[in-house]
Chain A
Amino acid sequence: MKFETYQTEDFFDELFFENGEPRACAKPLIDTINELPDGELQRRQKTAEASFMDTGITFAVYGNKDGAEKIIPFDVIPRIVDAKTWENLEKGLKQRTEAMNCFLNDIYGEQKILRDKVIPENLIYTCTAFRKECIGLVPQRKIWAHITGTDLVRDKDGTFYVLEDNMRCPSGVSYVLQNRRILKQTFPKVFSKCAIRPVDEYTTKLREMLEYLAPDTTDNPKAVVLTPGVYNSAYFEHSFLSQQMGIELVSGNDLIVKDNKVYEKTTQGLVQVHVIYRRIDDEFLDPMTFRKDSLLGVAGLFEAYKAGNVALANAPGCGVADDKAIYTYVPDIIKYYLGEDNIIPNVPTFVCENPVKMNHVISNIDKMVVKAVSESGGYGMLVGPHATEKEREEFKEKIKANPRNYIAQPMISLSRVPTITENGFEGRHVDLRPYIIQGKDIYVIPGGLTRVALKKGSVVVNSSQGGGGKDTWVIAPDKGAPEQGQSIKFMQHQQQQQQQERRN
């Protein structure tokens, strides 16, 4: 399989220029693939898939009783981001994260931004993710959204836009780590030629952040990961992260609250827990405060949290910041709190709550992507140009019935990455979700999850809708000595950092 006939077809291609030449950062990879004997790439693709199956990175197919399980489709051709592009993205993501944290502190505190009329008050109070229980609450270290994932897309001219913020413990980072593990086995030689920034640091950063949140009353903080259980579609990730961090994975039944303190039930009695990385939605966290019928959470957890005896990551109430209607105000939020212009632009968005904009959306629905503000995972959305007349009409009615629930964006012509298909390499549309950890400082994983719409022409990348994954390579800034190999440089870099920290 070779790239000789590969076409970019008037889209922005992450690995190739329009004239068919590979971009500088992609050249070592493209050359390597072109040199492979016939069938070798497909063989490596199969090995990669088998590795997912053997290590159990699978999900059960619902309604299938014969034990069949599937892997999330994976394509071995990575997306590559050059150092300079990444530098700018990283700056932009940090800026956004910082501003959003100010916003959350303000919105559950003094609400200055509402009084100054930067954001309309009713937008907050009609947001389903706004938790009135959290008003007046100050979480440990004043951090709300500790782990976030920001969905980025790239348009025809190569500009990155923020498509969506995910503040409610977004999943997928385990795939980033696994994809990398597998690609290192697939293209070992390319790794030694390029300075690809490693991603393994993520779990160390994650644990550091969790322990940083522990109440000051303890010298020996105990952090755990709280999962809704083995049937959750992200269960693999919960168990993988806790294993990689070396902390326990618990379910609601393993925890108990006494005197506003959280304990885990062990073979030697109760042991106090100080920090919970919870992968359960707000509503299910505590049947005494939120949904009464929740069997997943822990009774009394919210009171313990309010008393400051346990930290929750992410803090309950975070979701208000990733509401799709609040999203349109993020540039204003950044300006308001940081006094800066936003570095990564938003996709222009029409909030249907505004009657003028709603009418514009309805009359241009064939050019728009319409999304329900409270849904995720690619559900409740309409891709106007690809929809049938009947679907469009149905959506118009839905919008008119509940305008607050809908936003619309012009169709972005998503960038593409070459992908293995039955007909050789073809471009497929991708987005990018970098993961960000906010603790003592802000850490952005170099790269993130590249989701790819595997169906020809499709722009919906969600795994529930036929999407798959790719590894994302970020090239290290100092390209001075690529022949030296990334591992040596990485170790030198770490050594320097440690020395510096000791001096500080």
Chain B
Amino acid sequence: MLSRVADSLFWISRYIERAENTARIIDVNLNLMLDLPGEERLFEPIIKSAGCSEIFYNKYTKATAENVMDFLTFDTDNQDSIINCVSIARENARCIRETITLEMWMLINKFYHRLYDKKIKEEMLNNPHNFFTEIKEFCQLYVGIQDGTMSHGIGWNFAWLGRMLERADQTSRILDVKYFMLLPDISMVGMTLDTVQWTALLKSVSAFEMFRKTYANVTPQNVSEFLILNKEFPRSVYYCLEHAERALKNIINHQKTDNGKKSMRVIGKLKSILEFSTVDEIILHGLHETIDEIQLRLSDFNVSIYNDFINCVWKI
């Protein structure tokens, strides 16, 4: 497969996954707002976890729901806004139009035109829940169509790899920022406000129902264990890493060359650290420190994928 094409498939998945996560976070917090009347600082951590405080506060003075919604959804100055994610995904899809299936292309294309509809902003403000549900469904539909119409060869595995890495990154990021923002005062641990917010965190990665089937109590420790170490939940960091590793193995097996051996080592190492850790060890080491390390290694992994497959030194 052409390196450029593999790269595009990888990034389409990442951007669509990113759009989905953004839609989830906004939706959950809008909902939370109804439970916590008067709480005005709900949307600050969202801006922080998206890593774009600077751009945001240059444009807006206050992180109100409306400002944040607009910024994260339609603001083209925000690199990771939903409209930008979908546009970049579509641009990449256009570049590899001949590789993806017509159904995948038509879905992205239609959704792109929908986001540029003149009345769409009004629609969002009138019924945000419906609007963000539509975005989530679009992203899930894309994954489903890709799964059901595209051959599961090298390209498909690159797409899968991209999705898993983006998801691992998003989950760890959400957990990190919330961890700080949720505990304004140590005396509040275990109080209603705290529980409501940890529940919201779980919901924002769509994990609440599955969490409940495993744990009785919503405690920071349980939530961290579930979102980092759980082996079955499809958005836990560990799960994502394991599946990223599988995708990479498939690519290497398909190609029958040595490309990718280095990436395999990088992801294997990270995965085994998590595999043999307990949540107590993580908290003892520091949750924030652990997440930092995960993110650093994820970024190393990204670089080694790039070196192994996309921009190799070309030898004959």
Q: Is the CB of A266 within 8 A of B3?
A: yes
The answer to the question of A251 belonging to the interface, with a C-beta cut-off of 8 Å to chain B, is yes
Which chain A residue lies CB-closest to B308?
A: A267
Given the known interface contacts A67-B116, A258-B316, A267-B6, the answer about A55 and B251 at a Cβ–Cβ threshold of 8 Å is no
Given the known interface contacts A248-B2, A265-B3, the answer about A270 and B314 at a Cβ–Cβ threshold of 8 Å is yes
Which chain A residue lies CB-closest to B4?
A: A254
Q: Is the CB of B113 within 8 A of A53?
A: yes
The answer to the question of B95 belonging to the interface, with a C-beta cut-off of 8 Å to chain A, is yes
Q: Distance (Å) between the CB of B162 and the closest chain A CB?
A: 14
Q: Is the CB of A267 within 8 A of B110?
A: no
Interface size on A, residues (CB 8 A): 31
The answer to the question of A66 belonging to the interface, with a C-beta cut-off of 8 Å to chain B, is yes
List B1-47 residues whose CB lies under 8 Å from chain A: 1-6
Q: Is the CB of B6 within 8 A of A56?
A: no
Q: Distance (Å) between the CB of B298 and the closest chain A CB?
A: 20
The answer to the question of B315 belonging to the interface, with a C-beta cut-off of 8 Å to chain A, is yes
Given the known interface contacts A66-B116, A268-B255, A269-B257, the answer about A251 and B102 at a Cβ–Cβ threshold of 8 Å is no
Q: Is the CB of A67 within 8 A of B87?
A: yes
List A203-236 residues whose CB lies under 8 Å from chain B: 230, 235-236
Given the known interface contacts A248-B2, A254-B2, A254-B4, the answer about A56 and B94 at a Cβ–Cβ threshold of 8 Å is yes
The answer to the question of A68 belonging to the interface, with a C-beta cut-off of 8 Å to chain B, is yes
Q: Distance (Å) between the CB of B210 and the closest chain A CB?
A: 35
Q: Which of B5, B94, B312 contacts A269, CB < 8 Å?
A: B312
Give the chain A neighbours of B102 by CB distance below 8 A: 55
Q: Is the CB of B2 within 8 A of A54?
A: no
Q: Distance (Å) between the CB of A192 and the closest chain B CB?
A: 25
Give the chain B neighbours of A67 by CB distance below 8 A: 87, 112-113, 116
Q: Is the CB of A263 within 8 A of B316?
A: yes
Give the chain B neighbours of A251 by CB distance below 8 A: 4
The answer to the question of A344 belonging to the interface, with a C-beta cut-off of 8 Å to chain B, is no
Instruction: State in angstroms the CA–CA spacing of A54 and B103 once bound together.
Output: 10
Instruction: State in angstroms the CA–CA spacing of A100 and B158 once bound together.
Output: 47
The answer to the question of A107 belonging to the interface, with a C-beta cut-off of 8 Å to chain B, is no
Give the chain B neighbours of A267 by CB distance below 8 A: 1-3, 6, 154, 158, 251, 255, 259, 309-310
Q: Which of A55, A68, A239, A256 contacts B314, CB < 8 Å?
A: A256
Which chain A residue lies CB-closest to B256?
A: A268
Give the chain B neighbours of A69 by CB distance below 8 A: 113
Give the chain A neighbours of B310 by CB distance below 8 A: 267
Q: Is the CB of B309 within 8 A of A68?
A: no
Give the chain A neighbours of B91 by CB distance below 8 A: 230
The answer to the question of B122 belonging to the interface, with a C-beta cut-off of 8 Å to chain A, is no
Chain B 43-86, CB within 8 Å of chain A: the 1/0 string?
Answer: 00000000000000000000000000000000000000000000
Chain A 416-445, CB within 8 Å of chain B: the 1/0 string?
Answer: 000000000000000000000000000000
Which chain A residue lies CB-closest to B311?
A: A265
Q: Which of B2, B99, B110, B315 contacts A266, CB < 8 Å?
A: B2
Q: Which of A243, A253, A266 contacts B98, CB < 8 Å?
A: A243
Q: Distance (Å) between the CB of B208 and the closest chain A CB?
A: 36
A-B contact count (CB 8 A): 84
Q: Distance (Å) between the CB of A171 and the closest chain B CB?
A: 16
Give the chain A neighbours of B99 by CB distance below 8 A: 243
Q: Is the CB of A265 within 8 A of B97?
A: no
Instruction: State in angstroms the CA–CA spacing of A266 and B314 once bound together.
Output: 9
The answer to the question of B105 belonging to the interface, with a C-beta cut-off of 8 Å to chain A, is yes
List A53-96 residues whose CB lies under 8 Å from chain B: 53-56, 66-69
List B298-316 residues whose CB lies under 8 Å from chain A: 309-310, 312, 314-316
Instruction: State in angstroms the CA–CA spacing of A254 and B310 once bound together.
Output: 11
Which chain B residue lies CB-closest to A245?
A: B98
List B274-316 residues whose CB lies under 8 Å from chain A: 309-310, 312, 314-316
Q: Distance (Å) between the CB of A8 and the closest chain B CB?
A: 40
Give the chain A neighbours of B113 by CB distance below 8 A: 53, 67, 69
Instruction: State in angstroms the CA–CA spacing of A479 and B108 once bound together.
Output: 44
Most buried by A among B94, B97, B309: B97
Instruction: State in angstroms the CA–CA spacing of A243 and B105 once bound together.
Output: 13
Given the known interface contacts A248-B2, A269-B314, A270-B315, the answer about A55 and B106 at a Cβ–Cβ threshold of 8 Å is yes
The answer to the question of B109 belonging to the interface, with a C-beta cut-off of 8 Å to chain A, is yes
Given the known interface contacts A56-B94, A56-B97, A67-B116, the answer about A266 and B1 at a Cβ–Cβ threshold of 8 Å is yes
List B216-240 residues whose CB lies under 8 Å from chain A: none
The answer to the question of A242 belonging to the interface, with a C-beta cut-off of 8 Å to chain B, is yes
The answer to the question of A264 belonging to the interface, with a C-beta cut-off of 8 Å to chain B, is yes
Q: Distance (Å) between the CB of A429 and the closest chain B CB?
A: 32
Instruction: State in angstroms the CA–CA spacing of A55 and B100 once bound together.
Output: 13
The answer to the question of A280 belonging to the interface, with a C-beta cut-off of 8 Å to chain B, is no
Instruction: State in angstroms the CA–CA spacing of A56 and B87 once bound together.
Output: 13
Q: Is the CB of A269 within 8 A of B116?
A: no
Instruction: State in angstroms the CA–CA spacing of A14 and B251 once bound together.
Output: 56
Q: Distance (Å) between the CB of A93 and the closest chain B CB?
A: 29
List B131-162 residues whose CB lies under 8 Å from chain A: 154, 158
Most buried by B among A242, A264, A268: A268
Which chain B residue lies CB-closest to A265?
A: B3
Q: Distance (Å) between the CB of A185 and the closest chain B CB?
A: 15
The answer to the question of A250 belonging to the interface, with a C-beta cut-off of 8 Å to chain B, is yes
Give the chain B neighbours of A242 by CB distance below 8 A: 98
16 extra interface residue pairs, beta carbon distance < 8 Å, beyond A55-B109, A267-B158: A54-B106, A55-B105, A68-B116, A230-B91, A235-B94, A236-B97, A239-B94, A243-B97, A248-B2, A249-B98, A258-B316, A263-B314, A267-B1, A267-B2, A268-B256, A270-B316
By Cβ-Cβ distance, the 7 closest A-B pairs, closest first, are A243-B98, A239-B97, A67-B116, A268-B255, A267-B309, A56-B109, A242-B98
Q: Point out residues on A near B: beta carbons under 8 Å.
A: 53-56, 66-69, 230, 235-236, 239-240, 242-243, 248-251, 253-254, 256, 258, 263-270
A–B Cβ pairs within 8 angstroms, 29 of them: A54-B106, A54-B109, A54-B110, A55-B109, A56-B109, A67-B87, A67-B112, A230-B94, A239-B98, A242-B98, A248-B2, A248-B5, A249-B96, A249-B98, A251-B4, A254-B2, A258-B316, A263-B314, A265-B312, A266-B2, A267-B1, A267-B3, A267-B154, A267-B255, A268-B259, A269-B257, A269-B259, A269-B312, A269-B314
